[in-house]
A and B are shown apart, each in its own frame.
Chain A
């Protein structure tokens, strides 16, 4: 479990699922143009129960069950749809529309046609769902100009980033994580407010440290914090950065940290080739932080194979806390 800090007395525990639910509820109430559509989002309360209660509250017009037709991404003139993909694996059925119709339209029309749309759903590996249901799409969507891509870790991230995404005038891809839906995190009093948003494009330092910088997004932020707790016992103080946004990436926060710690390890669940870590390495080399590195950047990633089903194989296909600890020590030459 997370290391909960004592904060304002009015802090409460909230799961990521409830935080996402609250974000949508508040934004549906705030702006009539916002609506949610997707498979099983209404009467079933959501395949993963993220939209529980919303159909009961807002009805058929605002919460819409669709047939299994991912490609029917609606460019509703003047409206602000939230499109749920049951998982981002299925978004590949609609990816032409996401890239060619959503991402590029404002540019192609030289500003005449904006696309205020949110694509959200679970991304990356779950547990035992095998190759076709476990892919991470952070690198794929992060590659495209015209899209914003966020990847929340905890409940505050989930609520704040989703609200910002809904309020943003541009297409935003929100990469959630199924394994985090049921995990409770502390929500500060500020985060409980109906106007709480987190700016897109800004990373957060979850833990301060001097020995080495760890950068991750989504579930692996938690893994990094766990690794940091173990390493602290050996006197290694990790600075853990929660990216929060994949695109536009907050490279500056990473650079500032690396210029302090001189070492960098990136951690992600996706495949290594052309991934988030690869991009971070390139950006570090292009900027001022390169000269502060005492060793090459290390990328900790998923294994470069389709996801196997058997538990022992699946466990060894993704970064474990011990892999992060090992990589930190190797990077520090310990």
Chain B
């Protein structure tokens, strides 16, 4: 029976031109989504948490539709980010990654949910906890890990490191807390200026939410009705300082005052997707900026030099892991609605593990950037210039 289904499904895939190889080979029957003659439910509707609203009559829907294909894709994205971050942890402890390394595990639903609701032609900017977004915005695990290990195959050729990775329509990766927010408002201005119906997603954390420059950005975005989705990833701690000790108001979705806001369950990828869709529609309709607060959690400390347990308890971390893990939640939903099989998820996990291992291989064997390129990329579109080295006799060359 299973073999026959596999043969039929393969035939269908060839006929419809779908890339059957993209999905894992599994013992369970694989089906093309538009056909539902096999074991799995092709689509289901899930209840999601209602968002708290600020200056909005209505919010995103409280039910989300999920197709099997979408579910597997979100799972794959989140699990890839998870495994990539855990690999980075390992490499850092082996001293193969150095400097700063701020890991994203626990927050995967935010990056995955946002990307699911926007287009590749939209824009996104975030702070230093950026590896997840670098991936969702299109950079391969290989190029991310190679950047972390400082090799020439890294997305920034080894010159940027953890906090400075970029891609088309992805503006980093920014090291100075809050400084990316005015930049995001500026990108939104460019969107408006160019009139291509694009939006800019501008992310920041609960720590950055108290920076004055954010409020300047809020003012200008609202005044000029810029298509800017301000998103606060509230993971409850700004480095070692809990939100209660840093903010006079922890209702981050209301901090934009005259800007409408939503508070969203950031651990639920569907909730994030629906809210982001709502927000993007708001901006594209010319209504101006909107703020989303994603309530999320990071399992690691602030960075690799922070054990993360001096200001919060291990019990708290464990509780979030067991009750609200974004990847587990999605998996359980799909399993309970018979949208996929346990084996299928296992296969995906194995595949991702392999992908991350291969990326690690590359990231640890690729050579370091060549010294001749030390001074390149000072200026853009500039004739080559001479750069002073460490002494007056050291004359180095810089090309654009």
Contacts and interface: CB of A to CB of B under 8 A. Distances in A.
Interface stretch (B41-49, B192-200, B239-247, B340-348): B239-247
A308 B208 CA distance: 25
Contact of B238 (A68, A132, A318): A68
A332 interface: no
Interface stretch (B26-34, B228-236, B281-289, B388-396): B388-396
B160 A130 contact: yes
A238 B394 CA distance: 22
Nearest to A92: B176
A90 B177 CA distance: 8
A301 B99 contact: no
Given A39-B241, A40-B239, A311-B150, A300 B210 contact: no
Given A69-B211, A301-B390, A309-B158, A128 B238 contact: no
B207 interface: yes
Interface string A53-89: 0000000000001011101000000000000000001
Interface string B78-112: 00000000000000000000111000000000000
A327 B393 CA distance: 8
A70 to B, nearest CB: 9
A129 interface: yes
Given A132-B176, A330-B393, A316 B371 contact: yes
Given A303-B374, A313-B159, A318 B390 contact: yes
Interface string A292-311: 00000011111111101111
B243 to A, nearest CB: 10
B178 interface: yes
Nearest to A312: B368
A192 interface: no
B3 interface: no
Given A65-B241, A133-B175, A305-B378, A312 B208 contact: no
Contacts, number: 153
B164 A132 contact: yes
A201 interface: no
A127 B39 CA distance: 55
A224 to B, nearest CB: 14
Given A67-B246, A132-B176, A309 B160 contact: yes
Contacts of B156: 309
B368 A311 contact: yes
A47 interface: yes
A320 interface: yes
A181 to B, nearest CB: 13
Contacts of B241: 39-40, 43-44, 65, 67
Contact of B164 (A65, A67, A131, A316): A131
Contact of A309 (B99, B178, B387, B396): B99
Nearest to A272: B388
A317 B373 CA distance: 12
Interface centre among A39, A93, A300, A304 (most CB of B within 10 A): A304
Interface residues of A, number: 47
Contacts of B175: 89, 130-133
Contact of B212 (A71, A298, A306): A71
Nearest to B245: A65
Contacts of B396: 303
Interface string B138-169: 00000000010011001010111111100000
Nearest to B98: A128
What interface size band does chain B fall in? 35 or more
A245 B242 CA distance: 38
B392 A298 contact: yes
A309 B238 contact: no
A184 interface: no
Given A133-B175, A319-B390, A320-B390, A309 B375 contact: no
A308 B158 contact: yes
Contacts of A309: 99, 147, 150, 156, 158-162, 164
A68 B211 CA distance: 6
B374 A305 contact: yes
A305 B388 CA distance: 9
Nearest to B159: A308
A67 B374 contact: no
B310 A68 contact: no
A274 interface: no
Interface string B197-232: 000000000011011110000000000000000000
Given A132-B163, A299-B392, A303-B396, A313 B208 contact: no
Name the residue among A67, A133, A330 with the largest chain B CB count within 10 angstroms: A67
Contacts of A300: 390-391
A317 B378 CA distance: 14
Contacts of A320: 390
B246 A323 contact: no
Nearest to A130: B161
A326 interface: yes
Given A130-B164, A317-B374, A318-B390, A311 B238 contact: no
B237 to A, nearest CB: 11
Nearest to A297: B392
Interface string A276-287: 000000000000
Contact of A39 (B178, B239, B311, B388): B239
Nearest to B247: A67
A11 B98 CA distance: 35
Interface string B284-315: 00000000000000000000000000110000
B59 interface: no
Contacts of A128: 98-100, 150, 161
A23 B159 CA distance: 38
Given A44-B239, A131-B164, A309-B150, A326 B158 contact: no
Contacts of A330: 391, 393
Q: Which 4 A-B pairs have the closest CB atoms?
A: A128-B99, A309-B161, A310-B150, A310-B158
Given A313-B369, A330-B393, 6 more contacts: A65-B245, A131-B175, A132-B175, A303-B389, A309-B159, A316-B371
13 contacts: A67-B207, A69-B210, A128-B99, A129-B99, A130-B162, A130-B164, A132-B176, A299-B392, A309-B150, A310-B150, A310-B369, A311-B368, A330-B391
Interface of A: 39-40, 43-44, 47, 65, 67-69, 71, 89-90, 92-93, 126-133, 272, 298-306, 308-313, 316-320, 323, 326-327, 330
